[in-house]
Structure 1
């Protein structure tokens, strides 16, 4: 899978920026703070098709973070693995999905 230069550059800039701000934190507090870099959004439609097949499409069943489903042409629904989606979409094994405040706020991140 090809990862565009802008995604890679964004991840590098995020690493440098977040690393610099973390160094301003007193050493005794650094170990308790978790710093992460934003990689990009989760393409849930693509995740459904990669994980379950071309007949599966993304669908929301509510407004919460965990209200995404994959649905096929027969109406069957299954959950979508956001962690797997992030690893697959950005080719970064340490990548994971996180959500804040609703169904459309999923993003892929990794810890620095």
Structure 2
């Protein structure tokens, strides 16, 4: 991390410029792990102070608590995910709909 630049400032730049970050993250168990994340955005899923991003290690969208990010570095966007997975489903009104218990609607 550059001297005089906060983690929050690096995250803000990554969000604004759509940059990829490598972060050192302190987990609940006080273990530290390095993650490459992209598609960073502010998350309100758990309250204030969280970001949501695509984690290249887990290959899925994850939420990170900003206060647990120990270090952050901007890295090459070559690891950036180009297409977000989408759920494509077309509703077919001619088919029956069943609830969790198998009862037809």
Provide TM-score, normalisation by structure 1: 0.28
**Higher CA-based Rg:** 2
Higher normalized helix content (fraction of residues): 1
Provide TM-score, normalisation by structure 2: 0.29
Higher normalized strand content (fraction of residues): 2
